[in-house]
A and B are shown apart, each in its own frame.
Chain A
């Protein structure tokens, strides 16, 4: 395999502690190397920035709800299509791009690993079909567990071994990566036309509370020693005053220590915290509680979060939080799709226009950034837009610009129609912190890789790690205009994925060798769970178990992480 040496760039790498020093990065046989031979191809990065490929811990990029979004929003594709190129296929779409565009755009921005944030197990095959069709980037998918009948019943009966055996079985069967929890109990309650808006609202029929579900899955996750922690979207998303529910959810994890062999330190990852940091009791007195939530995270070092920044675009919301989407469509009166996924989850989709002229939208924009600026530990705070919910992932460069430049934020704040009201309801105007390049690298590379239990594989430049390397045409010390940040991060000078150059001069030149990450947790044989699975398929599921499993041909290039949970 080919060798490369990236010379004289300003290197940023939390893994090896390099903070913008001029250094060379060597690539050999797909890995970062100490040195290369004289035959190595030289890339001159003088005056440019070099870092590892970025890791997206939470995005909705593959599967039935993404595809239904594409299907029912032809207007999202209008005038966005790019014809087939030399190395690329036809691609398009804005908030719900095609699989091809998803791969190309992530790669051009220097992202090399992406976690699909919500896989309904029943439709896992569809998720993997789309992952397979998404070029370049390595991807995994998190199956949803927070509204699953098996989980409810075992937890209700206090059968922790059975919960673990079921989780291990489902991860293997769906080729999943970890435990996602969406509106615990609430999406199941939605089947009764109800919801759980606090951690103590019992789920109809099952009589279990969100707090019990979260606690149980957290315990199981650590008992199994999975690479990632539980990954939660808590109850009451998107409602004024919901920060109390968020804090009550986080409290469940307080003091619990992580148990695993992957270097992961957190026991709970809370996703798109922006949507969960709202004060007030109506849209009239709606305000930011980012400070309260961020301070809680600052104190509790066994938790991580991603921001879920609102980018003020027209986008498509989609979540396994079925009742929330129904609530949303009754607010904005736009088209609504809704599905009940049998014994497992539900989901909904509604287009949304985050209009800077609407006070609430501008406050939401501020909250996402406040969280990033109040957070003291960038290694536990990750940049996301909950793509496509708060904005498309293609806006990450813009979010990075806002986090790095107070000037760009103040200009936005001044430009809002309800500028004064927005400033009064948030703290952003007085937050002059500007994140450094090193902190951005922690938030987009080392941090998310570590939280996923992949700190020795991705997100760093230590010898032996996967050679995912990016060169951006930007010099932190010489930025004159914040727009340079957005331009540079929008398309890298060059990107290597596992040692293959996939982007050169801002354009995709190779489709790489994409892999699917999944977790194989070995647990003791469990006849009870095997029998329960058989019975549920016979009695309730609309398909047979033989059509359920994601067999190997759906995952042609797997990267399996084995966990011995015996």
Chain B
């Protein structure tokens, strides 16, 4: 396998759209040829070599090509878009649409990724060591075809609207997810190893969602069907099985109605939900407040910006009202 090493040499003023950074585009090309491929910034077009140093060369085919990306790539979008084979390793963070419409191969991001990553994914493997923001493995806006195949693994947390319109494949989130998990899902398997905020499986007609922590509040359109022993991670465990969304149509197979299913470990469930509240409502430490002051120095951030920052950085989920007061306090 040939390796191409891209190192970001210049942080772009705007966001860099790098849909050409895939093994498919790099295969069969020299470092020089790769450097000539275009990137977009707003309505301007530039070359990969304007922003990255390129070392190595592409393999004969996409499958023989590995791309290693180094440097502060927080503002680079579309890495690995539509890739079909080969490998990409990103040492830092990436912006939106990483692995969008990915069809094969492997992408490993060692930092965090932004929103809309792995949307419409049909195959391959996408691994994130940090956190993912909203609409992970969802469908493109308006589309009814979300993730259809492959595997997404996020070791940290994922944002809201994860797996919207999921049809197939597997999503494995090591931490927590925000609201609207698996909305409209019609297949696939989702494992949340932490907690899920509310509105899980809204309008889901088929598919399996495992929440190994707690579901903050189960939707009223889900019915507790009973307990079931199910194999997960190679071992059998007892789960409460909830079926729904009862507000939706449901197909029949062999005379049996198919439902979306939410599995919660026996003993967790909704009863423990207040625990989330008490845990999450904790205040920031003085040190964290100092950090926050520094981060938003000379800025007029919105409540949502600050709230997201606190969630991402300190893993504390504050209510907008609290955040608003906090901002007022900091200003004074």
**Stretch with Cβ within 8 A of B (4 or more), from A32-40, A69-77, A495-503:** A69-77
B140: A residues at CB distance < 8 A: 74-75, 78
Assess the B141–A74 pair: CB atoms within 8 A: yes
Highest count of chain A CB atoms <10 Å: which of B139, B143, B249: B143
Closest to A332 in B: B144
Distance in Å: Cβ of A306 to nearest Cβ of chain B: 30
| Chain B 115-146 near chain A by CB (<8 Å), digits 1 or 0 | 00000000000000000000000011111100
The B-contacting residues of A in range 56-78, CB under 8 angstroms, are 72-76, 78
Closest CB in chain B relative to A328 CB, distance in Å: 14
How far is B140's CA from A335's CA once the two chains are assembled, in angstroms?
14
Residues on A with beta carbons closer than 8 Å to the beta carbon of B141 = 74-75
Contact B142 A334, beta carbon cutoff 8 Å: no
Q: How far is the CA of A75 from the CA of B142 in the complex (A)?
A: 6
Q: Is A333 an interface residue (CB 8 A)?
A: yes
Give the chain B neighbours of A334 by CB distance below 8 A. 144
Residue of A nearest to B43 (CB): A83
Residues on the B chain within 8 Å of A351, using CB: 144
Which of B139, B140, B141, B142 neighbours the largest number of chain A CB atoms within 10 Å of its CB?
B142
In the complex, are the beta carbons of B249 and A73 less than 8 A apart? no
User: Which residues in B have their C-beta under 8 angstroms from that of A72?
Assistant: 142
Q: Mark B142-153, 1 if CB is under 8 A from A, else 0.
A: 111000000000
Q: Nearest-CB distance from A152 to chain B (Å)?
A: 35
Q: How far is the CA of A78 from the CA of B141 in the complex (A)?
A: 10
Please provide the chain A residues from 334 to 363 with a CB less than 8 Å away from any CB of chain B in the complex.
334-335, 351
1/0 contact string of A71-110 vs chain B (CB within 8 Å): 0111110100000000000000000000000000000000
Bound-complex Cα distance A351 to B142 (A): 11
- Bound form: Cα–Cα A388–B139 in Å: 23
Q: Given the complex of chains A and B, what is the CA–CA distance between A76 and B143 in angstroms?
A: 9
The answer to whether B142 and A333 touch across the interface, beta carbons within 8 angstroms, is no
Min distance, Cβ B22 to any Cβ of chain A, angstroms: 15
A312-335 Cβ-contact flags toward B at 8 Å (1 or 0)? 000000000000000000000111
Residue of A whose beta carbon sits closest to that of B140: A75
Residues of B within 8 A of A335 (CB): 142, 144
Q: Which residues on A sit within 8 Å (CB–CB) of B143?
A: 74-75, 78
A272 to chain B, nearest CB (A): 25
Name the distance in Å between A81's Cβ and chain B's nearest Cβ. Answer: 12
- For B141, the closest partner residue in chain A by CB is A74
* CB atoms of A73 and B144 under 8 A apart: no
Q: Which residues of B contact A78 (CB under 8 A)?
A: 140, 143
**Bound Cα distance A351, B145 (Å):** 13
CB distance from A239 to the nearest CB of B (A): 21
A78 to B81, CA, bound (A): 14
| Cross-chain contact A74 with B144 (CB below 8 angstroms) | no
Q: How far is the CB of A415 from chain B (nearest CB, A)?
A: 23
Smallest CB separation, B296 vs chain A (Å):
33
Q: Which of A72, A75, A335 has the most chain B CB atoms closer than 10 A to its own CB? A: A75
A530 and B139 alpha carbons, distance in the complex (Å): 52
* Closest B residue to A77 using CB positions: B142
Query: CA of A248 to CA of B193 in the docked complex: distance in angstroms?
Result: 63
What residue of chain B has the Cβ atom nearest to residue A333's Cβ? B249
Report how far A335 CA is from B184 CA in the complex, Å.
12
Once the chains are docked, how many angstroms separate the CA of A75 from the CA of B143?
6
Give the docked Cα–Cα distance between A75 and B144 (Å). 9
A69 vs chain B, min Cβ distance (A): 11
Chain A residue nearest to B251 in the complex (CB): A333
- Residues of B near A74 (CB, < 8 A) are 140-143
How far does the alpha carbon of A79 sit from the alpha carbon of B139 in the complex, in Å? 15
Min distance, Cβ A98 to any Cβ of chain B, angstroms: 16
CA of A73 to CA of B141, assembled, Å: 8
Chain B, residue nearest A351 (CB):
B144
* Closest chain A CB from B137 CB (angstroms): 16
Q: How far apart sit A333 and B142, CA to CA, in the bound complex (Å)?
A: 14
Question: Looking across the interface, which residue of chain A has its beta carbon closest to that of B145?
Answer: A75
- CB B41 to nearest CB in A, in angstroms, measures 15
- CB-CB under 8 A from B142, the residues of chain A are 72-76, 335
Minimum CB–CB distance for A73 against chain B, Å:
5
A333, B144: Cα distance in complex, Å: 10
Residue of B whose beta carbon sits closest to that of A335: B144
Alpha-carbon gap, A335 to B141, bound state (A): 13
**Which chain A positions have C-beta within 8 A of B139?**
75
CA distance A463 to B228 in the complex (A): 83
- Beyond A74-B143, A78-B140, A333-B249, list 5 extra A-B contacts (CB 8 Å): A74-B140, A74-B141, A75-B141, A76-B142, A335-B142
A-B contact pairs, 5 of them (CB 8 A): A75-B141, A76-B142, A78-B140, A335-B144, A351-B144
B contacts, CB < 8 Å to A:
139-144, 249
List chain A positions with a Cβ less than 8 A from chain B. Answer: 72-76, 78, 333-335, 351
Q: Which 3 A-B pairs have the closest CB atoms?
A: A75-B143, A74-B142, A75-B142
